[in-house]
Structure 1
């Protein structure tokens, strides 16, 4: 199934929502440290509801460790400066969907890492800076899963 990778997430509610997203879709959620919260944070627990035990979640000490564990064939880095739209990709189940921290997005060295297949954007109105991290991940993951006929989903 698809793998969501949050690079140094800062806001516990976003990661809690992503935990819930991973649990209901069967995606894996990978987090790269440092994190801007602890797993005891009430906002993280509240946003994730009772789905924490149902999600596949891994925390990596740094990006290199994440790359080693994930061994990705394709990585899509989501950024406002993306060259292609998320809707123009034919997703594969093993893809890694990479998102940056809420306050600044992906740093240049991560966006241009040699493992990154493409830098991808979600369309927004001009002059808008960004979309919420958990919402962005949801939009992309559901498009990828839709392309696979929502494989594994109940009726």
Structure 2
């Protein structure tokens, strides 16, 4: 299985985190949550968005960004931000990389971004749109990383049963 990792830096909206958790379960991706969180992980809204998949989620919590770095030494981290110069499709995602997304109200802090300009990535948008929804952004970038890794160990074909009319 591709050992991709999604990192949420101080997420604020429980429904977004629930949706992202469900996406991670569906793709075999690990989820990393950097505190403080804007909610409690036992809130109904997280479980509602993540449905019954939340118990199957491989999730790790960190007390802060420094704790995350210390527990994941040498990790290749791509930082999704509207401030990046590189488009998310222009980088080559390693099968064990980490893709970080910032909190809904402010993104990843600039003091972190300025230290990582070469691994900062953006999703193109038109006009003065501030940003996309966090769970949508995660899905867009994660599926590009999965595609580049040939959807390793994922089901690639569906099973369509034809309805026969009598």
Question: Which residue pairs with 2:163 in the alignment?
Answer: none
Greater shift, 63-72 or 81-90, is seen at: 63-72
Residues 15, 35 of structure 1: CA spacing in aligned structure 2 closer, same or farther, 3 A cutoff? same
Alpha-carbon distance in 2 for matches of 1:71, 1:142: 25
The ranges of structure 1 where at least 4 consecutive aligned residues each deviate by more than 6 angstroms after the TM superposition are none
Alpha-carbon distance in 1 for matches of 2:136, 2:100: 13
CA RMSD, Structure 1 to Structure 2 (Å): 1.3
Question: Which residue pairs with 1:140 in the alignment?
Answer: 141
Greater shift, 124-133 or 72-81, is seen at: 72-81
Question: Which residue pairs with 2:83 in the alignment?
Answer: 81
Question: Which residue pairs with 2:102 in the alignment?
Answer: 100
List alignment gaps of at least 5 residues for structure 2.
158-166
Question: Which residue pairs with 2:18 in the alignment?
Answer: 16
Larger Rg over CA atoms? 2
Alignment of 1:26-37 (within 5 A): 26-37=28-39
Alpha-carbon distance in 2 for matches of 1:26, 1:70: 19
Alpha-carbon distance in 2 for matches of 1:29, 1:104: 20
Alpha-carbon distance in 2 for matches of 1:63, 1:73: 13
CA drift of 1:117 comes to 4.7
Alignment of 1:2-81 (within 5 A): 2-81=4-83
CA drift of 1:65 comes to 1.0
Q: Does residue 1:153 correspond to 2:150, yes or no?
A: no
List alignment gaps of at least 5 residues for structure 1.
none
TM-score by length of 1: 0.94
Alpha-carbon distance in 2 for matches of 1:72, 1:21: 25
Residues 118, 145 of structure 1: CA spacing in aligned structure 2 closer, same or farther, 3 A cutoff? same
Alpha-carbon distance in 1 for matches of 2:71, 2:118: 17
SS of residue in 1 equivalent to 2:6: strand
Contact (CA 8 Å) 1:6, 1:98: kept in 2 or not?
A: yes
Q: Does residue 1:130 correspond to 2:137, yes or no?
A: no
SS of residue in 1 equivalent to 2:19: helix
